[in-house]
Each structure stands twice: as C-alpha cells, then as structure tokens.
Amino acid sequence: MLFPMKEKVVLGFSGGLDTSTAVLWLQEKYDLDVITVTLKIGQKEDFGNIEEKSKLLGAKKHYTIDALDEFADKYISKCIKANGLYEDKYPLSTALARPLIASWLVKIAKQEGASYVAHGCTGKGNDQIRFDITIRALDPKLKIIAPVREWNMNRDQELEYLKAKGFDFKPSRSRVSVDENLWGRSIEGDILEDPSAEPLEDYFEWTVAPEKAPDKSTYVTIGFEKGIPVELNGEKMKLSDLIVTLNSIAGQNGVGRIDHMEDRAIGFKSREVYECPAATCLIEAHSELEKLILNRNQLFFKKLVEKEWSWLVYAGLWADPLRRNLEAFIDSTQDFATGKVTLKLYKGGYRIVSRSSQYSGYDLNIATYSFKSIFDQKNALGFIEIWGLPTILSNLKSGGGDE
C-alpha cells in the first residue's frame, strides 16, 4: 500500500533551544518532514554535534554549508565599501548574515522540492523581517513558518516540551543570548535589558577588558585595493582570513566593544551590545582612505548614500533594488580606493596614524606652510569676498543678524 508523501519544510537550524524545539513542533503541528540547514559563517560551533542533534530530533536530512568566503566576499565586502554602520555605531554583523542564510534556505527548498521554509526568529526582533522579506523576494511561492513567533513559549516551556517528547535538552549555561559570525558577536539578555547596567566582563569573548590589554601599543597596517582589504601588516590575505586575524589582534587590545541604544526596525528601542574588533578597525581605516582620495563633494554625498544603505540592510530590505542602485554609486567611488592605512591600538582605543595612496588628493606643494608652497595666499581675498557674499548681504538686509 502506498502512502502519500509528506510535504517538506527547510529549517534554518542552529542547534539551540528554539530551533531544536522547532524541529519537533513542525513535525507535530504541521506534519512535515523537516530538513535542517546550518551555515558555517565564522561562529565557533561543533557542527558535527549540530548535525547529530538534528538527526536525533527526527530531521530527515541535514545540510552543513560552508559559506564563510561567500559571506566575506559578497556581503562583508559591500559593508566595508559602504562604511556600513547603523546609527553610526553598529557594523551590521547579524543583519548582513540573515539574507545570506535566507538565500540558502531558498536554494535547499528548491533542491529538495519543499513547500515551506522555517526560521527560529521571535516576533520582537529585526531578524524575522530580514528572513521573511528575503525569502518572499527570492521565491514568493514558498510558505514561511516562524515557530517561535507562533507558539509564544518561554524558555522553561520549551524545555518542558522537549522533555515531554523524550529529549533531555541541555541548554547553554550562558545567561545571555549570543549570535556570532565572522563580522561580529551580538550579546542580548540578562542585565543588559537594563540600559543603566554595565555589562559583566564574562559576557565578552572576543575582546579583553581595556584595562587588561597590553601596556604597549599595537600597530596594524591594512592594504586596500579598490576599497577591499587585501593585506594585513604586509601579508596578502583573502578577506575572510584577514578578518579572522584582525579580530584576534584588535580583540587582544580591547578594541571593538560597542554598547548603544538602538532603534529596532519593528518600532521600539533596544539596548544592544556587540563585539566587532575587525569591523571597527576596517571601517575606520576604509573611511580614512576615502578622505584621502575622494573630494569634498563625493564624500558629502557618499555619507548620505551610506546611511541609506545601512538602513536598508538593518531593516531587512537587502533584496530591495535600491540597495543595488546605491551600490552602483558606491562601487564607482572605489575605483581609486587603493592604498594603506595604519591604526594604533591601545587599551580599547584606536586611531589612524598613517595613510597613503598613489591616488591621494593631497598635494604637499599646496598644503605646506613652508616657503616651498606654490599657493598664492593673495588669492584667498577674492575667494572670501565671493564665498561670504550671500551671508554678508543677508545680514545687511536683516539689520546685522544676532545681537
């Protein structure tokens, strides 16, 4: 006797409490065959253990996808060129990874003939937006299930549910929720929900406390080609390796801790804490290189573009055509973004101490205050007269301006 085949769902699977519960819940409530997918994008996990856990929970198949270089080359590189910082602080580490994961869920769903895609996002965060919109943009026919958003269970209830199904799940001992990838580590929960509370030192893994950092400064020199970091301290590296190395160097110097109040796309404020050592250094260095090679008009307009680009990524609109339109402009500004920038790292602080490029817009013969200057200072008088004319005339008309 032939039995009808069950429909399939592809679930983004971390092996944590939420997605482990989701495997069982999708089988029970929706009567679906579950296929789990885990992407390797720089998180420190036992991927063999994650796959074994998926099988024990009853998933029909598990995929482990090594997407580290794809993440670096197709997502992080764009963030560096855009100097991507949401609200001038957050380097978009988690936000950048979500459309990549979503794209792989869609790929596997097509490959497996699945009708459903599922993720472990809550109904309070930004990630649900990033997953839902990207998946629907890539394949509108796929149906999306967000178990955590639907069941509204708390942590204890999830543990009870797993226990009732015969699984003795051992939750993480960490008091905080952590999301980690190559570009950064986000930390939420526990006392961090109080904006006035200082983060505990044991929340951090990538960065040492600034007061415990070395007493001697560390210098790092980053080489760029067309806006992409390609060299660290004189050694050529692919982008993913360069980021891993710089995460270690900067983190050992206490650089890369971010603590700020963030306006979530869904509408409320959230206190967010991140560790982004390499991202902090690379965006600062790239931005400084641009100041050397771009003119004032380019820099002014690019800042506007960067802000909009960062908002689109943060707000889950990676698939929006405006992002690609903005990147066309950004890429056009990177033709001459080739050069070297040196940062000095010391006990949590960082500053640019050197920058050079064969395409530099700086002319020593004009800028110097020495007798070698070729700039005729008498020309300034006419410039000031014309530059200030609107302001002077406005004040004459209004009777002299402020008292």
Pairing mode, strands 339-346 and 349-356: antiparallel
How far is residue 14's CA from residue 94's CA, in Å, rounded to a whole number? 14
Contact 263, 312 (CB under 8 A): no
The 3-state DSSP composition of the chain as helix, strand, coil percent (nearest 5) reads: 45, 20, 35
Of the candidates 96, 72, 41, which has an alpha carbon nearest to the alpha carbon of residue 238? 72
Catalytic site residue 98? yes
Return all residues near 283 (Cβ < 8 A) that are at least 6 apart. Answer: 79, 80, 83, 84, 85, 91
Q: Which of 14, 54, 98, 186 is catalytic?
A: 98
Query: Active site includes 355?
Result: no
Q: In this structure, what token pair is assigned to residue 284?
A: 């600062």
* Catalytic-residue membership of 18: yes
What's the burial of 93, exposed, middle or buried (CB within 10 Å: 0-12/13-18/19+)?
buried
φ, ψ dihedrals at 179, nearest 5°:
-120, 130
Among the listed residues 77, 115, 177, 360, the single catalytic one is: 177
Catalytic residue among 54, 93, 127, 257: 127
Examine the residue annotation and report whether 190 is marked as an active-site residue of this protein. no
Written as six digits, the tokens of 335 are: 């033709």
Q: Which of 18, 33, 132, 179 is catalytic?
A: 18
Q: Residues with catalytic annotation?
A: 18, 98, 127, 177
